[in-house]
Amino acid sequence: MIEFFVRRPVSTLMSVMFFVLIGIVSYFNLNIEKDPSIDFPIVSVRVIYPGASPEDVEEQVLKKIEDSVVEVSEIKKIESQAYESFGVVIVEFNLGVNLDTKSIEVKDKVEAILNDLPSAIEKPIIEKVNPFSQPVMEIALTSSKHSGLELYDFADNRLRGMLTSVKGLAGLDIRGGRQREISVRLDAELMIERFITITDVINSMKRYNVNFPGGSVDEKDSYYNVRFFGEFETVDEIRSMVLTTREGEQFKLSDVARVEDSYKKVVEDSRFNGDKVVLMSLRKTTDGNAVEITNQIEQLWPNLEEVLEEGMGLTVASETTSAIIRQTDETIVNILVGIGLTVLVLLFFTGNFSLTLIASLVIPASIVSSIFLVDASQFSINSMTLLAIATALGTLIANAIVILESILKNIDDGKDSKQAAIDGTKQVAAAIVAASGTNLVVFTPIAFMGGIVGQFMIQFGLTVVFLTIFSIFASFTLTPMLAGVLLSDKKSGKKSFILQVSDKLIEFLLREYKFLFEGIMKAPWAFILISIGLLFGSLKLVPYIGNEFIPGSDLDRIQIKLQTPSGSTFEKTESVVAEVEQVLNGKIEIESVVSKLGENGTENADVIVNLKPSAERQKSDMDLINEWIPLLARIPDAEFELKRGSSALQADIVINVTGYQYDKMVDLSKKVEEILQGTGYFRTLKSSYRQPKREFRFIPDQEKLRFYGVSNIQLAQTIRASIYGDDSNKFKDGGEEYDVLIELSRRFKDNQKALESIFITSKKGMIPISKLGTIKRLPTVTSLKRRDRNRIIAIEGYLSKGTAGEVQNLVADKLAAVQWPAGYGFYYAGNAETQAESQREIAKSFLLATILTYMVLAGIMNSMLHPFTIATSILTSFSGVFVLLFFLEESINIASMLAMIMLVGLVVNNAILLLEFTMSKIEEGVPIKEALWLAVEDKFKAIMMTSIAIIAGALPQLSAIEGTKSSMGAVLIGGMLGSILFTFIMTPALFYYFEKLGQGVKKLTSRS
């Protein structure tokens, strides 16, 4: 077959170009996204319970939902959180479930208990959740002339429809502005004079404000629908609504209330660069292309501006695609630079421009061709697939160099270029198949790892497999064919200057190594012990190397989460946000600031700081965080939490405190917090427990309730309607429906005395509720967190230095020393759980890769013994890995662990080249020592060339901003440096011993 491809260059070229062309076409079919698209097996149940305390939400809603959905099979964990007026239950299932089916099962379970939930709750929202999803774009609608009410209506009624028509968008969320509401504020004193209560007003309006179908009537050949139409058509009609007392007195609603066309109470808002705006957040579908969506919106932008009213303006407040494209371009540039560096390495060692041209054509051809299979597998261009290409350069380089170097030797022996191409390729075919085969068996297990990490890794692993397949294809087709066509038939009489330099370098290294080789052959056991000592010495560095799940990176964004004291008003939080914006004002590193007020309560807010690209600023995001913390600390009555990147990213360390009595859990969580704070490693620590706020609690007197003939539910509904209000009535206008909120005027509910004066109808007439019980001011929690149907307190920590694994080891003894009562304890959650799962999966993949590598080598070398010799190069290469990770201050993380698996397929190549040639010479009858030296002489240049080329290909990764790429680059470079060292020290020594052992066994066998 190789002869066919070399002798028929046009046929070979067309065969390769077929896949290259399909690869180019496939490239334009691929989505561009930051991370692989993953179907997270998570379903959320969100419930709004207006006016309810977190304890009420937990007891009356969340516990019942948890008890119901726990019956669904395949649940991994259930997490819940109760806030004021709101609660959420998050159900995470085991991987591999049909999420559509599970979502329906959860929905059925929740709907089955709706009658057991409070009637005041809004209908639960059940949806599938991606915890890492972010808005594709956020658009700010501003105006100097329009009110917040007008801006919100314009965004909702005009812009929403235009934007949601964009292909790939799942929906649009609007925050900010004012939402229209008809406000009915009752005067308690006037109501007492008229002998009427708030429930009388609510029920009267319900009876008045109705539309009702009456059926139909026939008239000759036609029929007509009959409809009773009694709904309010104007706000004046509401004001003029007639109320009737029990005594028959009639009066208008406006006689006891102030009726206004107003807006809902402000509990959330948005700001952009310090100005109030209406913020529209655009969410994409699971398979939506963020870049394509952004392009569509850019095309739609003139139409959006065209419909704006005078004084309105539209601005892109934030978007994610620029960062995605920037990171993608950076990785592609690194890949191209890596290819360029490897080509230069090849040029240096061969001095042959034709050879360099061949390599520069073969490597990109393999990459482009593999995109066909990437597209066929429904992958995308993302961090994992690009990382796979960047790290797989080593395999592509190694195969090309080994074949070209072999072809050159055959040309030097006097063969014509075509015959040299055929013979040279055949001579190293076994080595190429062995090296590529190890790569295939190494990365196939990665593609089938379990856990969430496995969902990310499938695209990484299979992309490397695809690249390796096309590398093998190119190695036996395009490479020898181009060599036969482009290389000169005769050896050049005069070497180029570059080749003279490289040859002298190789000769020098070989001469120096000759002395070492003689020493190894004289005392192989000593060098084996030295190698083992170096390996164990490098292991001593491991405790000083950071350990984390995902390394932190500068993502051009900082999130500032702030909390004002429990029970703070929206206005208080807004004033703190304004102070934060003032601190940030004028910072040259900032591109824009988006503030979102009222995130899960009026005392919470998020300030998203979009930074200029890291290349355009002198300070990193961590420099800015450390700079801003002291400035923000000066703002009174607020707690701050600063995070790198988006809100989807979890804290570096999460510790969940568990137990039975909440007060004891609080005390224990404070001890944990003190221990973490004492390490000095954290810039921010946050506990899910917050100082309780105070609430007015009405305690009914049951005897008095019976005496006055008032039920608990009747009293509770009256209090709720008076304080929170009742919005069960609706007002329709212009095809839209708006709430009619009936409540007491503020002055009748802003203190305890006013609350006691709320009146209710009893069988003995109207009475103040103070006659039915007492009002106490008591503390209440502001939020509650639950895990697997039990309360927890979560402590989240963001590191200012060090890594999560380092800090966990540091505090382990201190946390264990805490006096934990029986039934109380703690465990690491968040990234620690995912990291533990990923480490288990990667360890299994590493073990499987090593076993499969052995099996491949044993099959190709026809030896059960010498694959062990080659396998030792895997272990010894890790000495270089640990040394380089330590000195470059990189961490052991998911990316670096993947690179370690990749080393299994790379470092064995050097030993394969060396021993495959050695064994062929031994079969010819050459003694072991001489065979080893002949192999060294013949393969020294190829081994050095491939190893240095792989290192050169990985070098650009070290300068990458993303920690995943730089740590992976450090592992590959360190591993290859270790491989170069131990291939020429430990491998010959071990082979010598094993071969002597094998020959001894054969002699004994033959004698017997």
Partners of residue 270 on adjacent β-strands: 277, 596
Pairing of the two strands 604-611 and 590-597: antiparallel
State how many domains the chain has. Answer: 5
Residue 720, in any domain of the structure: yes
pLDDT at residue 67 in the model: 92
End position of a domain, from candidates 814, 832, 850: 832
Q: Is 80 exceeded by the pLDDT of residue 638? A: yes
User: 854 and 719 in one domain?
Assistant: no
Is residue 196 domain-resident? yes
DSSP-assigned beta bridge partners for residue 244: 250
What CATH number did the domain enclosing 873 receive? 1.20.1640.10
Whole-number CA gyration radius for the chain:
36
Average pLDDT score over the chain: 85
pLDDT tens figures, 423-439: 888 888 877 887 777 77
| Best CA proximity match to 721, nearest among 198, 271, 221 | 198
| Same domain assignment for residues 614 and 757 | no
> Is residue 429 in a domain?
no
Q: For the chain, give the longest Cα–Cα distance.
A: 126
Q: Is 231's pLDDT higher than 60?
A: yes
Q: Are 47 and 122 contacting, i.e. CB atoms less than 8 angstroms apart? A: yes
- Is there a domain that residue 330 lies in? no
pLDDT at position 1001 over 70:
no
Secondary structure of 116-130 in HEC code, one letter for each residue: HCCCCCCCCEEEECC
- Do residue 574 and residue 665 come from a single domain? yes
**CATH number of the domain that residue 122 is part of:** 3.30.70.1430
Residue 719 has pLDDT above 60, yes or no: yes
- From CA 324, how far away is CA 744, in angstroms rounded? 52
Model confidence, pTM: 0.79
**Segments forming the whole domain that contains residue 891:** 528-555+833-987
Q: Is the pLDDT assigned to residue 1000 strictly greater than 70?
A: no
Task: Specify the pLDDT at position 142.
Answer: 92
User: Do residue 547 and residue 655 come from a single domain?
Assistant: no
Residue at 66 is within a domain: yes
C-alpha pair distances (Å), 686 with each of 587, 651, 679, 797:
26, 10, 15, 6
In this predicted model, which residue has the larger pLDDT, 35 or 791?
791
Report which residue type is found at 991: F
Out of 793, 812, 832, a domain closes at 832
In which band, very low, low, confident or very high, does the pLDDT at 371 lie, cut at 50, 70 and 90?
Answer: very high
CATH number of the domain within which 799 lies: 3.30.70.1440
pLDDT on residue 276: 92
3-state secondary structure of 1: coil
Structure tokens that stand for 707 in this block: 């005496």
- Asked whether residue 317 is domain-assigned, the answer is yes
Nearest by Cα to 725 from 267, 268, 264, 269: 264
Domain's final residue, options 323, 338, 362: 323
CATH assignment at residue 289: 3.30.70.1320
Neighbours of 476 (CB within 10 A): 21
pLDDT greater than 70 at residue 408: yes
Judge if 151 and 274 occupy the same domain.
Answer: yes
Same domain, 679 and 712: no
Give the helix ranges, DSSP H, for 487-558. Answer: 497-522, 524-539
User: Same domain, yes or no, for 172 and 201?
Assistant: no
701 within a domain of the structure (yes/no)? yes
Whether residue 705 is found in the same domain as residue 810: no
> Are residues 102 and 117 located together in one domain of the fold?
yes
Q: What's the rounded mean pLDDT across residues 482-494?
A: 72
Q: Please check whether residues 277 and 249 belong to one and the same domain.
A: no
CATH of the domain at 730: 3.30.2090.10
Q: Write the pLDDT tens digit of every residue in 765-810.
A: 888 888 898 888 888 887 889 999 899 999 988 888 878 888 888 8
Q: Are residues 64 and 169 in the same domain?
A: no
Say whether both 855 and 979 belong to one domain.
yes
Label the pairing between strands 557-563 and 639-644. Answer: antiparallel
Within a domain: residue 146?
yes
For residue 709, give the H/E element and its range. Answer: none
